[in-house]
């Protein structure tokens, strides 16, 4: 049986390589955002697809 995997990714306008996260646990996503903002700066705006994952 093939294992299903989910990934969350973030892509900034000036980023050439998307950042893929192994899972979407709150702590992991927060760490990834802090890391990305530390390297690239805080974006002026953030767009999402308003998916069900963001509604919880």
Query: Above 70 in pLDDT, residue 42?
Result: yes
Residue among 15, 6, 50 nearest 35 (CA): 15
Residue among 21, 25, 1, 2 nearest 10 (CA): 21
- What is the mean pLDDT of the segment spanning 25-30? 85
User: How would you classify residue 41: left for phi > 0, otherwise alpha for psi between -120 and 50, otherwise beta?
Assistant: left
So what's the pLDDT on residue 22?
79
Q: What angle do CA 53, 54, 56 make, to 5 degrees?
A: 80
Mean pLDDT of the chain: 72
């Amino acid at each position: 049986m093939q294992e299903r995997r989910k990934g969350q990714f973030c892509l900034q306008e000036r980023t050439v390589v998307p950042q893929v996260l192994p899972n979407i646990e709150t702590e992991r996503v927060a760490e990834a955002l802090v890391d990305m903002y530390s390297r690239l700066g805080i974006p002026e705006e953030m767009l999402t697809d308003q998916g069900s994952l963001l509604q919880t």
